[in-house]
Amino acid sequence: MNAGPVIGPRLGWLALATALALPVQAQDLAGHGGPVGALDARDGLLVSGGFDTRAILWDLDTAAARNVTRFHDGNVTAVRLLPAGGFVTAGQDGRLALWQAQGRAPEFATMPGQSPIASLDVAPDGSAVAAGFWDGQVVLLDLATRTTTEMQAHTDRVVGLGFLPGGDLVTVGGDLRLARWTGGLDLQFRRDLPDLPNGLAVSGDRIAVIFAEGALRLYAQNGDLLPERFLTDRPLVAVAATSADIATAAIDGTVWLLAAGDLAQRHMFTAASGPVWGLTLTPTQVFTAGADGLIRRWSLEDATPLGDHAGVVTADYDDGSRGAEIWQSCAVCHALTPDDDSRAGPSLHGVLGRPIAAQPGYDYSAALRDMDIIWDEQSVADLFKYGPEAYTPGSRMPEQRISAEADRAALVAFLARATAAID
């Protein structure tokens, strides 16, 4: 079954020919219909989660999708492979779902949460899953009994969490704090952090934390600060680690490979033209993912690209205007042609004058279906002025804003021209 986007015959044959020219171990992974924000790899498998509500289990030796699932009401925000087989997914709907490798439906799922899940990890012995929520809660799911334990770990979003080798849990939050908890979720300590953290990965017995100021800091298990490295003046947005290597990525698509011991830089490369949201390591490869939905492979040894890097989304219409330039970011998830259902979001052909959640054939969230909004010049501009979380709460649309009024007006005008040109 082809889970990827529908493309024209000529481009399809070109992409197939390019892929067949590469060893399967070197092919990039294309199957999501929109941005990919979550990755995890081990033992020849990779699981990915996307804004298209899909989670895909990949065989890295054949570059083939073993399983394509859709369950969550909204983005798949985090994924992890389970040591005993199968995988776990977390969603914008605040749910955890446990899957067998070939399962078409989850074998177990929690009830919807009060807020989206932001972070996820599996205990080293495979006994439990921990999830961190946007509202600061942490939920521990016992995989044997399928029971949950909840606690208020932070006063803001739990941006990262991970299990230490002995089974204790460490968390970082938007409240600028690092905390360590026992396996029973008893607090051991809290430490204040110098800046806003954006993620956490455990590297052996150390804790790697990335920050919005562009720094990566290592902490000991007792919370003491170890080596730190300022990598960029842009926010770091993804981090992954093994006991020997740490990888981190910035909002501009730059990736750094660092030695875990002293944070010495081994390599730096550009993985994308925008944010790298998904990042994971195997003993020999680095995998990155972001806005275009393609999962790319890189050599861990020398950072050379291993795949063909195909899959860039092309715009349906481009008149060279400022609005068309802004639209390029929207084109990752939305088409302008009326019958293109291959992307994560609905087609925006003829969107002006249409009620919200009215595109035939698209599976909108329940929250959007209950809203009373007509998309016109003002409402589209307001969506990007205030952001979807404030203007259309419960939407699957990732949070984004356009700060300049002139740019918002340019995008709205472009949408009107594009519909007229394509009709």
Q: Is residue 69 part of a domain?
A: yes
Helix (H), strand (E), coil (C) string for 334-398: CCCCCCCCCCCCCCCCCCCCCECCCCCCCCCCHHHHCCCCECCHHHHHHHHHHCHHHHCCCCCCC
In-domain check, residue 312: no
Give the pLDDT confidence score for residue 13 in this predicted structure. Answer: 34
Query: Is 306 part of a structural domain of the chain?
Result: no
Is residue 33 pLDDT above 80, yes or no?
no
Domain shared by 127 and 276, yes or no: yes
| Of 205 and 327, more confident | 205
183, two tokens: 């396996």
Same domain, 329 and 248: no
Query: Are 167 and 256 part of one and the same domain?
Result: yes
Q: 325: how many CB neighbours lie within 10 A of its CB? A: 15
Q: Are residues 226 and 326 in the same domain?
A: no
Q: Does some domain include residue 337?
A: yes
Q: Which amino acid is at 393?
A: P
pLDDT at 359: 86
State whether the Cα torsion 131-137-140-141 is positive or negative: negative
Q: Could you tell me if 212 and 277 lie in one domain?
A: yes
Question: What token pair was written down for 235?
Answer: 């926010």
For residue 188, the domain's CATH number is 2.130.10.10
Same structural domain, 140 and 278:
yes
Between CA 89 and CA 117 the distance in angstroms is 10
* pLDDT of res. 5: 31
Q: Which of 14-18, 120-124, 219-223, 279-283 has the weakest average pLDDT?
A: 14-18
* CATH number, position 351: 1.10.760.10
Mapped onto helix, strand or coil, the DSSP state of residue 286 is strand
Average pLDDT, the chain: 88
**Which pLDDT belongs to residue 387?**
84
328 inside domain: yes
11 pLDDT higher than 80: no
pLDDT digits (tens, 9 = 90+) for 379-415: 999 999 998 878 998 776 766 778 889 999 999 999 9
Helix (H) or strand (E) holding 266: strand 265-270
Same-domain pairing of 37 and 130: yes
Answer yes or no: are the C-beta atoms of 168 and 181 closer than 8 Å: yes
pLDDT of amino acid 312? 45
Q: Give how far Cα 115 sits from Cα of 52, 278, 355, Å.
A: 19, 21, 26
Q: How many structural domains compose the chain? A: 2
d(C-alpha 40, C-alpha 64), whole Å: 16
Task: Read off the pLDDT of residues 226-264 as tens digits, 9 standing for 90 and up.
Answer: 999 999 999 999 999 999 999 999 999 999 999 999 999
How many other C-beta atoms lie within 10 A of the C-beta of residue 152?
A: 10
Per-residue pLDDT tens digits for 165-202: 999 999 999 999 999 999 999 999 999 999 999 999 99
CB 182 within 8 Å of CB 188: yes
Residues 137 and 76 both lie in one domain: yes
Provide the pLDDT for residue 146. 97
User: Does residue 19 sit in helix, strand or coil?
Assistant: helix
Mean pLDDT, residues 19-32 taken together: 64
In a domain, 4, yes or no: no
Q: Are 345 and 333 in contact (CB under 8 A)?
A: yes
Q: Residue 77's pLDDT is what?
A: 97
CA 253, CA 232: separation in Å to the nearest integer?
Answer: 12
Tell me, yes or no, whether 328 and 291 share the same domain: no
Neighbours of 169 (CB within 10 A): 25
| Amino acid found at 50 | G
User: Which pLDDT tens digit goes with each residue over 45-88?
Assistant: 999 999 988 999 999 998 888 998 999 998 999 999 999 999 99
pLDDT > 50? residue 12: no
How many whole angstroms from its chain centre is CA 80?
A: 12
Tokens found for residue 127:
């006994």
What single string gives the DSSP state of each residue in 118-144? EEEEE-TTSSEEEEEETTSEEEEEETT
Handedness of CA 394, 395, 398, 400 (dihedral sign): negative
Look at residue 409 in the predicted model and tell me its pLDDT. 94
* DSSP 8-class letter at 110: P
Q: Cβ(105)–Cβ(86) under 8 Å?
A: no
What is the token pair recorded at 35? 């941005």
Task: Indicate if 282 and 336 belong to the same structural domain.
Answer: no
Chain mean position to CA 331: 17
Does the pLDDT value for residue 22 go beyond 50?
no
pLDDT at site 344 = 65
Residue 334's domain comprises 322-422
For residue 345, the model assigns a pLDDT of: 75
Q: Are residues 223 and 333 in the same domain?
A: no
Q: What's the residue count for the chain?
A: 423
The encoded tokens of residue 360 equal 């035939």
Q: Percentage of residues in the chain with pLDDT exceeding 90?
A: 68
Structure tokens at 109: 């799922």
Given a contact cutoff of 8 angstroms between Cβ atoms, the answer to whether 181 and 190 are in contact is no
Helices (H), 259-344: 322-330
Structure tokens at 163: 């299990």
Whether pLDDT at 208 is above 80 = yes
